[in-house]
Amino acid sequence: MRQTMIGKGRQTRDGIRIYEQADFAGMHRAGELAARILDEIAEHVFPGQTTGEIDRLIEDKVNAAGAKSATIGYRGYEHASCISVNHVVCHGIPGDKKLKDGDILNIDVTVIVDGWFGDTSRMFVAGKLNRKAERLIQVTYDSLMLGIEAVKPGNTFGDIGHAIQSYAESQRMSVVRDFCGHGLGRVFHAPPNVLHYGRPGTGARLEPGMFFTIEPMINLGRPETKVLADDWTAVTRDKSLSAQFEHSVGVTEDGVEIFTNSPAGKFHPTY
């Protein structure tokens, strides 16, 4: 048996859990629900809508599916989603502020289905998308997909980060360093930290049965962020526009499976 075969309850030296073949099905169920909720929320994103109302709809959908929100009660967080508008990088708290025409927003949903965590986020637009925002969204989407293309046994986490960083920076945009992707599965956040920047061949080696998220945050301006006084909302220090997409994935014997694909084929906001 090859050393990279999917094993039983194994962990790597870096503390990364190796899941079993049968566990992929649980992750697909959780990931698909999170993705379907984002599909269904698209029609509720429009100028004048509040992020608080979007979050309430998301919470209802999680409950209607008989699932659990992973974020409600997580480190004191009280909402079923994070909604990050314009220069908010991540962890935006849903509230009473109304969306304006041309706002871009990331909606991030994590659900628990039968103990499995599905974590995904994507970009939405209220009203009409302007050209700069469209380019940022496109580059961020392509960065995530290039990162996912680097997922296969034998590659390293540094290869994933490098794929994302080299592309984003070639487009004169910057990669946020202060937040990263993460292992997940039976837990929300587990090793490793999945950095969205890095050098080829560095970091832990990818093995079949590793489950993690890739969730690059890309800025039009500089990469630095700060967290607001609410202790959650992360914004760009220079107030530049920021975008993010997130998939939960699993490493297979010869590549990758995406757990959070959109059932409706709507992961990208414009096509």
Using the minimum distance from each CB to ligand MF3, give the nearer residue, 112 or 146. Answer: 112
Residue 17's Cβ-side half-sphere holds a number of Cα atoms within 13 Å equal to 18
User: Given the rule CB under 6 A, which residues bind ligand MF3?
Assistant: 71, 74-75, 77, 82, 91, 108, 110, 119, 213, 215, 232, 246
| Residue 173 near residue 241 (C-beta atoms within 8 A) | no
- Partner from ligand MF3, Co ion, none contacting 91, C-beta within 5 to 8 A by type: ligand MF3
- Partner from Co ion, ligand MF3, none contacting 103, C-beta within 5 to 8 A by type: none
From 23, 55, 103, 108, residue interacting with Co ion (rule: CB under 5 A)? 108
Interface with Co ion in residues 153-212 (CB under 5 A): none
Using the minimum distance from each CB to Co ion, give the nearer residue, 23 or 119. Answer: 119
Using the minimum distance from each CB to Co ion, give the nearer residue, 156 or 213. Answer: 213
Alpha carbon of 180 to those of 81, 89, 155, 157, 185: distances in Å? 18, 12, 18, 12, 16
Backbone φ and ψ of 251, nearest 5°: -80, 130
Q: Which amino acid appears at position 36 of this protein?
A: R
213 touches Co ion by CB under 5 A: yes
Cis peptide before 192 (omega within 30 of 0): yes
Using the minimum distance from each CB to Co ion, give the nearer residue, 121 or 165. Answer: 121
55 touches Co ion by CB under 5 A: no
The CB density around residue 29, as the number of other CB atoms within 10 Å, is 16
Binding segment for Co ion among 22-30, 31-39, 127-135, 244-252 (CB under 5 A)? 244-252
CA 252 to chain centre: 20
Q: Which segments within 188-244 are labelled E, that is strand? A: 190-194, 211-214, 217-219, 225-227, 234-236, 242-244
CB of 247 to ligand MF3, least distance (A): 10
- Partner from ligand MF3, Co ion, none contacting 207, C-beta within 5 to 8 A by type: none
| Residue 50 near residue 137 (C-beta atoms within 8 A) | no
Binding site for Co ion (CB under 5 A): 108, 119, 121, 213, 246
